[in-house]
Structure formats: structure tokens, C-alpha cells
Amino acid sequence: MSIHPLAAISPDAHLGVGVKIAAFATVEADVELGDFCTVASGAVVKSGVTTGCHNEIGEHAVIGGAPQHVARPEQIGRVVIGDHNVFREHVTVHRALKPGNTTVVGDNNYVMASGHIGHDARVGNNCICANGSMLGGHVLVEDRAFVSGAVAVHQFCRIGRLAMVGGHARVVQDVPPYMLVDGQSGCIVGLNIVGLKRSGHTAADINDLKSAYRVIYRKGLPWNDVLKTLQAEFTSAAVAHLWEFLSTGTRGFSQERRAPPTATLRLRIPDEDAATLLRRAKAG
């Protein structure tokens, strides 16, 4: 164990083997840090936090802050963090709003600088939240999801497994598993093919997901028929998880970004008179 003499460590904190705490860091009472965790200079681990092993808490991060809620009760919940997570500079993770509840971060997650995880949020395993990303209260992020920089996720929304949300997107409805969200529009623009391949999904899995995607977004079926079709016509585990996610939604789901077939673009021709415009049909 290595604790800098200028660190402020409560005698009621429980520190595991090999913990390293830098100068000006603070670890309050009722904190449990697992083996080989590191707390960088200026970071604060507040009461009500339990972590596993090999977690890295960056400079001036605040783990276990009180929930940002105007009706916050006197007694609040906890933060539970798994193993091998990285919380970079100025990251904030807030405790759950009510006693007995927890904000949960799983294993092998990477939260980049100034990321925020709100009260009662649940983050799975192997997720990445890029710089300045913000997860509101009660947000669920499933395994291997990627939340890009400056993304704002509204409270109670869910981001499905292996989904990738583009930078600056506003997520106000659930993002289904395996989907790719355009940062500018916040709409679905297809499957996260790269992520699927990197995670070991086979060509057959991807083809099944492509067919399921067409059922969801292209056939124009009523919602109940979409769910029945997914359940009846697909047997792969990937589509089964997609069906389960879709069948349990309560906030609605992000829509596909597709322009009407008759939409056009007005394009300027550099060598023509400024008043001369060419109208071309936009590719569907």
C-alpha cells in the first residue's frame, strides 16, 4: 500500500492490498477500495462507495457524490463499482437517490475526462463513455456499448448492448442493441457492424441482425407485429436479445434517419453563374 502523506484518508475507510493514493486525494469514511486501486491527486472518493480491484480514479474525479435531485432525501443510496474500471480526470459518479438502491458500474469500463454517471444509473461491462458524456438518472447502458463525446442521455433511457452513439447526440428514447446512432440527428443509421465483428459475432449473426433491422425499420409493420415477427422468424441469440430489449421498452425507441425518396438537394455548380442551380435527386 502506498499513501502519500498529504492525502486525507478516513480511519473508517477500508483499503485493499496494493492501493495507491496520491497527494491531496480524499477518501472518506464508509468507503471500500479493492486491491490495487489507484486514486490520483485531487480525487475524492466519498462515503457510500464500494469498489472491486484494479480500478483507476483520475485527477479531481469525484466518486460517490450526492445525487443531483431537488427532492433528495436525507438518507441516500450507494455506489457499487466492479473491477478494472478507469475513471479519468473530473469524472463524477453519483450515489443512488434512495437508501437500499445503488448506482452500479460493472467491470472493464472506461469513462473519459469529465464524464458523468447520474444517480441510480447502471453501466454494464466493457463500455466506453467518451469525454463529456452525460448519463442521466436511472439510465441503463448494456455491455460493450460506446457513448461518444458530449452525448447527453436523458434519464430513464436505455442504451442496448454493442450500440454506438455518435458524438453530441441527444438520446431521449431507448437505443436498441447493436445500432449505430448519428450524432447530428440522434437517429439510427444502421447496425454497428464494426463493433459486431470485433466482439466475435459471425457473418450469420450479422445477416440475421440485418434482416431483423429491416423488419423493425423498413417494413412499416405495426409494433406488435414487429415483435411477433422477430420472435417467430429468428432463432439467433443476438436477435433474441434484441427482441427482449424491444419488448420491455417504456420510452419508445430511436427512429431511423431516412429521407423521403423524393427529397432533393440544391447544389451549386462552381463554374456556372451564381444564380444557376442544379437540382439532383438525393440517393435513397
What residues act catalytically? 119-120, 137
- Determine the 3-state secondary structure of 33 from DSSP: strand
Measured distance CA(169)–CA(223) in Å, rounded: 25
Contacts of 236 (CB under 8 A, 6+ apart): 204, 205, 208, 209
Say if CB 146 and CB 165 are below 8 A apart.
Answer: yes
Distance set, CA 166 to CA 90, 170, 178, 179 (Å): 22, 9, 13, 11
238: enclosing H helix or E strand: helix 237-247
